[in-house]
Chains A and B, each alone.
Chain A
C-alpha cells in the first residue's frame, strides 16, 4: 500500500480533461470523461480491457484526436496546438508503451541517444554519454547498454522503455499497462521503479492498468472507467468499497480467484 504523498500540489492541475468523447465507427469508447491530474500525483486509471483506457492517454499525448471535449496538458489544449507546439509539449510528456516500443534496429544506447540527438542538439557527446549512463543506472540496467532489444527480457524492455522516456526529463509520465505480461516479482520491481521515478524526477503520472496490486502500490488516487465514463474515484479503499457488482467482480478477479 502506498503512503500518503505530501508532495502533491492540489492547486496545480497538470492535466485537465472535460467532457471527452471518442468513438470508433459505431462504437463509442469514451462517453464524456472528466479528469484532473495534479502536480506530483500518480493517478491510476483502472478498467477492463477495451474500455478506452489506452485511448485516453493516446488522446492526452496527441496520438488520437478527440471527437468532443477539452484536453488541457500543462495549460495547453492538445487538439488546438500546431504541430511544432505539439512537439514542444510532447517533450514534457513521457509515454511508456505497453510493449515498450523499443526501436528494434538500435542498441539500448542508441535507443536512448535517439531523442537526445534530435532534441538536445547543443549537448556534447560526453554529456550525452553521462546522461544515458545516469538514466540507465537509475533503472538498474547499465550492464545492458550495448545489447539489442531482442536480447532483453520483458521486464528489462519495460525498464529501458521507461528510461527512454525519462531521458528528456518529462514533467508528466503516461504508463500504458506497465506490468502487463510480467511475472509477480518483476511487477513489484516495475511498481517500485514507477514510485522511484515519481520521487527522483518529480513527475506526475497517469498509470493505465487492470492489475490491482500495481494500482495499490503506485497510485495516490484511482479512477475506474466503466462503460465509457469514470464511475468511481478516490483512494483504493474508496473505489472498491461499493456494492456495484461490476467493481466487485474486478476486485474479486484480482484478489480472490
Chain B
C-alpha cells in the first residue's frame, strides 16, 4: 500500500467517531428517538387525519376479529383442559374458573392479542410503508406539500394504540367463553356460577394493568411497523426486510415490556 492510499484510509477513518459500525448503531438509536419525538409533536398538531384514523382502526381492529376470535376461543379451551389434571390431583377442579380467568386476564389475552397484532398488523404496516417508500409514494406526498408522517405514521400508530386494548378485551371475552365450554362439559358448571367465580377471582388492578399494558403494546407495534417501513431500504428486498423485522422487533419488545410490566404490577400488588 502506497503513501497516498494510507492517507486516504486515515482520512476515511477520521470521518467516524468510533468506527463505522458503532457510529451506525448510535445513528440508528438517534433516528428511533427522533421518530418518537416527531410522533409526539405531530399527534397534537393539525391537520388531524380523522378519516384515515378511522380507516386504519377498521383495518387493525375489525379485520383482526376472525383470527382473534378463533385463537382466543381455542386458547380458552386448551388452557382449561391442560390445567385440569394438575388441579384434580388436589381435588381442586372447582377452582378452574378462577385459575383460568386470572391467567387469561393477566397474561394470556394481552400477550396473545399483541402477538397476533404484531404478526398481522405490524407486518402489514411495515410492508405497506416500505412499498410506498420504494415506489416513491412517500416522496410524492412530500412534494405535494402533504405531511407523509402525519398521514401515514400518526394515523397508524393511533389506530394500533387504540385498537389493541379493544381487541384484548374481546380476546378475554372469547377465551372465557372457550374456557366455559370446556368447564361446562367436564364439571357441569352453570354459566352463572362460572361467571361469578371468574369475577370474584379478578381484581380491578388485573383489568386496569392489562388495559394499560396493551395500550403500550399497541403503540409499540404501530411505531415499530411504521419506523421499519418508513425507513426501509430501496428495492423489493427492503420491503420484505421491513415486514419481517417489524414482526420480529415488535414481538421482542412486547415480551420485554411484558416482563417489565409484570415487575411493576407486582410492586403495586405488594402495596
Measuring CB to CB, which residues of chain A are less than 8 angstroms from any residue of chain B? 26, 58, 61-63, 87-88, 90-91, 93, 95, 97-99, 101-104, 114-115, 118-119, 164-165, 168
18 contacts between A and B (CB under 8 A): A26-B12, A62-B143, A63-B139, A63-B143, A87-B145, A90-B143, A91-B145, A95-B143, A97-B139, A98-B136, A101-B135, A101-B139, A101-B140, A102-B137, A103-B137, A115-B146, A119-B145, A164-B144
Known: A99-B136, A104-B137. A115 touches B142 (CB 8 A): no
Chain B residue contacts of A63, Cβ below 8 A: 139, 142-143
Q: Tell me how many residue pairs across A and B have CB atoms closer than 8 Å.
A: 53
Chain A residue contacts of B132, Cβ below 8 A: 104
7 additional contacts (CB under 8 A) given A90-B145, A99-B135: A88-B145, A93-B143, A95-B139, A97-B139, A98-B136, A101-B139, A104-B131
> What distance in Å separates the Cβ of A21 from its nearest Cβ neighbour in chain B?
17
Judged by a CB distance under 8 angstroms, whether B47 is at the interface is yes
Known: A101-B135, A104-B131, A118-B47. A95 touches B145 (CB 8 A): no
> What distance in Å separates the Cβ of A104 from its nearest Cβ neighbour in chain B?
7
What separation, in Å, do the CA atoms of A58 and B143 have in the docked complex? 9
Chain B residue nearest to A161 (CB atoms) is B140
8 smallest CB-CB distances across A and B, nearest first, come from: A101-B140, A87-B145, A101-B136, A95-B143, A90-B145, A115-B144, A97-B136, A61-B143
What separation, in Å, do the CA atoms of A102 and B140 have in the docked complex? 8
What separation, in Å, do the CA atoms of A114 and B146 have in the docked complex? 9
Chain A residue nearest to B49 (CB atoms) is A118
Chain A residue contacts of B142, Cβ below 8 A: 63, 90
Instruction: Mark out the residues of chain B between 1 and 32 whose CB falls within 8 Å of any chain A CB in the assembled complex.
Output: 12
Known: A88-B145, A101-B135. A95 touches B47 (CB 8 A): no
> What distance in Å separates the Cβ of A150 from its nearest Cβ neighbour in chain B?
12
Interface of B is mostly: helix
What separation, in Å, do the CA atoms of A3 and B137 have in the docked complex? 35
Measuring CB to CB, which residues of chain B are less than 8 angstroms from any residue of chain A? 12, 47, 131-132, 135-137, 139-140, 142-146
Chain A residue contacts of B144, Cβ below 8 A: 90-91, 95, 114-115, 119, 164-165, 168
What separation, in Å, do the CA atoms of A61 and B142 have in the docked complex? 9
What separation, in Å, do the CA atoms of A219 and B11 have in the docked complex? 43
> What distance in Å separates the Cβ of B106 from its nearest Cβ neighbour in chain A?
38
Chain A residue contacts of B136, Cβ below 8 A: 97-99, 101
Chain A residue contacts of B146, Cβ below 8 A: 114-115, 118
> What distance in Å separates the Cβ of A106 from its nearest Cβ neighbour in chain B?
10
Chain B residue nearest to A26 (CB atoms) is B12
Q: Which of B12, B47, B140, B145 contacts A97 (CB 8 A)?
A: B140
Q: Which of A62, A88, A95 contacts B140 (CB 8 A)?
A: A95
Chain A residue nearest to B47 (CB atoms) is A118
> What distance in Å separates the Cβ of A73 from its nearest Cβ neighbour in chain B?
12
> What distance in Å separates the Cβ of B12 from its nearest Cβ neighbour in chain A?
8
> What distance in Å separates the Cβ of B146 from its nearest Cβ neighbour in chain A?
5
Chain B residue contacts of A87, Cβ below 8 A: 145
> What distance in Å separates the Cβ of B11 from its nearest Cβ neighbour in chain A?
10
What separation, in Å, do the CA atoms of A154 and B132 have in the docked complex? 18
What separation, in Å, do the CA atoms of A93 and B47 have in the docked complex? 22
Chain A residue contacts of B137, Cβ below 8 A: 101-104
What separation, in Å, do the CA atoms of A118 and B142 have in the docked complex? 12
> What distance in Å separates the Cβ of B210 from its nearest Cβ neighbour in chain A?
33
What separation, in Å, do the CA atoms of A230 and B139 have in the docked complex? 26
What separation, in Å, do the CA atoms of A211 and B44 have in the docked complex? 47
> What distance in Å separates the Cβ of A95 from its nearest Cβ neighbour in chain B?
4
Chain A residue nearest to B131 (CB atoms) is A104
What separation, in Å, do the CA atoms of A87 and B131 have in the docked complex? 24
> What distance in Å separates the Cβ of B239 from its nearest Cβ neighbour in chain A?
12
Chain B residue contacts of A88, Cβ below 8 A: 145
What separation, in Å, do the CA atoms of A104 and B140 have in the docked complex? 12
> What distance in Å separates the Cβ of B260 from its nearest Cβ neighbour in chain A?
36
What separation, in Å, do the CA atoms of A98 and B131 have in the docked complex? 15
Chain B residue nearest to A64 (CB atoms) is B139
What separation, in Å, do the CA atoms of A101 and B135 have in the docked complex? 6
Chain A residue contacts of B47, Cβ below 8 A: 118
> What distance in Å separates the Cβ of B76 from its nearest Cβ neighbour in chain A?
36
Chain B residue contacts of A99, Cβ below 8 A: 135-136
Chain B residue contacts of A102, Cβ below 8 A: 137, 140
Chain A residue contacts of B145, Cβ below 8 A: 87-88, 90-91, 115, 118-119
> What distance in Å separates the Cβ of A170 from its nearest Cβ neighbour in chain B?
10
For A88, A97, A98, A119, the residue with the greatest tally of chain B CB atoms inside 10 Å of its CB is A97
Chain B residue nearest to A103 (CB atoms) is B137
Chain A residue contacts of B140, Cβ below 8 A: 95, 97, 101-103, 164
What separation, in Å, do the CA atoms of A114 and B12 have in the docked complex? 45
What separation, in Å, do the CA atoms of A58 and B135 have in the docked complex? 15
> What distance in Å separates the Cβ of B50 from its nearest Cβ neighbour in chain A?
12
